[in-house]
C-alpha cells in the first residue's frame, strides 16, 4: 500500500518521535510510506493518488479538502488523534475547547478517525471514530544502562515524566510527591527521550503516573514508553488499561495513600520490582509496539473501507 503520511516529521530530540516510529512500523509491515511535513503539503502541488492518506493533528483543512477533491475522494483519509480531547477539569478548559473544535471541523472530512481518548470515542455519533492507543517505539525499546549518570537533577528513586500543567489533579499530585518524598522524587517535564529516557528509567526504582487526567478509558502513552524501557510502573486504576497490562505487570492504585503504601513496599523489594517490570516489558514487546497499533489500524481500515 502507498501511504501519504502528513505529520510533524523530524522532531527527533525535541519530543518522543512518534511520527518516526509509526513510519518505521508501517515500513516494517511492507508498506510504501511517503512522509510529508504538515508545513510542506502546499509544495506538493497535486500529487499522484496514494492508497491511503494518514495524518494526526494537521490543521490545514483547506489542503485536506483540496487533495481529496483532486483524488476524486477515491483515497481514504484517516486521522490518528493522540491525547485527551475533552475533560471536565476547568484547568484544561481552553485546551479541550481547541481539541473539540478540531474534531468538529475535521471529522466530517475523513473516512475514519482513530483516537486515544476512549471517552471521546464513546460519545461519537458519526460512526467514524475508533479507539486506538499509541504504543512503544520499536527502535528504542529495551532496558537502559543504569551506570550512565542521571540526566535529570536530583538523585531520586521515584520518577514522573510529563508536564506539570496538565490539570488540577496532576498539579496537586506533583506537589504532594515533592512534599512527601523530597529528593527521592524526580519530575522530568521535557528534554529526555528515547534511549536517554531508558537510561534514566534504569537508574530509577519506581516510575509513577499521576491520578489525573486519566480515566477508565484514557491514559497517557507514557505507560507504553515506561513499560517498554523496563520500568516498575505504579499507575492509577483504569478499567480498560487492565486489558493491556494486568496487575502482575503494572501495579495499580485507587487512592494516593494506597499509592504511597505501594511505593514504600516496592522500594524495599527490588526482586519483586524487577519481576513485575520484566513481565510488563515482555508484554510490551509482544503486544504494545507501534507495529501492533499500525496492524490494528490497517485491519480496521481494510474491514470498514475495503482498502487492501
pTM of the full structure: 0.95
Residue 54 grid cell: 494518514
Question: What would the pLDDT profile of 223-276 be if each residue is shown by its tens digit?
Answer: 999 999 999 999 999 999 999 999 999 999 999 999 999 999 999 999 999 999
What is the structure's pLDDT at 204? 94
**Does CATH place domain 158-287 in 3.40.50.2000?**
yes
**Does CATH place domain 2-135+289-305 in 3.40.50.2000?**
yes
Q: Could you identify the residue written with the cell 509544495?
A: 43
Give the range among 17-31, 143-157, 165-179 with minimum mean pLDDT: 143-157
Domain extent listing, the chain: 2-135+289-305, 158-287
DSSP string, 86-124: --S-GGGHHHHHHHHHHHHHHGGGSSEEEES-HHHHHT-
How many percent of the chain have pLDDT more than 70?
97
- Do the domains at 2-135+289-305 and 158-287 have one common CATH topology? yes
What is the structure's pLDDT at 155? 53
Going by C-beta distance under 8 Å and a sequence separation of 6 or more, which residues neighbour residue 147?
Answer: none
The answer to whether the beta carbons of residues 49 and 75 sit under 8 Å apart is: yes
Helix axes 290-305, 18-28, angle to 10 degrees: 70
Amino acid at each position: 500500500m502507498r501511504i501519504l503520511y502528513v505529520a510533524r516529521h523530524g522532531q527527533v530530540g525535541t519530543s518522543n518521535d512518534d511520527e518516526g516510529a509509526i513510519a518505521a512500523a508501517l515500513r516494517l509491515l511492507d508498506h510504501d510510506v511517503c512522509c510529508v511535513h504538515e508545513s510542506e503539503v502546499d509544495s506538493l502541488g497535486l500529487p499522484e493518488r496514494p492508497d491511503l492518506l494518514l495524518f494526526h493533528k494537521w490543521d490545514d483543512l483547506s489542503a485536506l479538502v483540496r487533495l481529496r477533491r483532486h483524488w476524486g475522494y477515491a483515497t481514504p483519509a484517516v486521522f490518528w488523534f493522540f491525547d485527551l480531547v475533552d475533560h471536565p477539569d476547568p484547568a484544561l478548559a481552553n485546551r479541550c475547547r481547541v481539541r473539540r473544535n478540531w474534531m468538529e471541523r475535521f471529522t466530517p472530512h475523513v473516512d475514519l478517525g482513530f483516537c486515544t481518548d476512549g471517552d471521546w470515542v464513546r460519545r461519537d455519533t458519526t460512526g467514524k471514530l475508533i479507539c486506538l492507543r499509541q504504543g512503544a517505539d520499536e527502535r528504542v525499546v529495551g532496558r537502559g544502562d543504569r551506570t550512565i549518570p542521571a540526566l535529570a537533577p536530583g538523585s531520586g528513586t521515584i520518577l514522573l515524566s510529563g508536564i506539570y500543567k496538565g490539570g488540577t489533579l496532576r498539579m496537586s499530585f506533583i506537589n504532594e510527591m515533592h512534599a512527601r518524598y523530597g529528593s527521592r522524587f524526580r519530575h522530568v517535564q521535557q528534554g529526555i527521550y528515547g534511549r536517554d529516557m531508558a537510561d534514566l528509567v534504569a537508574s530509577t526504582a519506581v516510575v509513577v503516573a499521576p491520578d489525573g487526567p486519566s480515566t477508565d478509558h484514557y491514559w497517557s502513552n507514557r505507560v507504553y514508553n515506561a513499560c517498554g524501557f523496563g520500568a516498575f510502573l505504579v499507575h492509577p486504576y483504569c478499567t480498560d488499561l487492565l486489558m493491556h497490562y494486568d496487575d502482575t505487570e503494572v501495579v495499580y492504585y485507587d487512592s494516593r495513600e494506597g499509592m504511597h503504601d505501594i511505593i514504600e513496599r516496592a522500594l524495599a523489594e527490588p526482586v519483586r520490582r524487577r519481576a513485575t517490570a520484566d513481565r510488563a516489558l515482555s508484554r510490551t514487546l509482544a503486544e504494545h509496539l507501534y507495529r501492533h497499533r499500525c496492524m490494528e489500524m490497517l485491519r480496521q481500515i481494510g474491514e470498514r473501507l475495503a482498502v487492501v
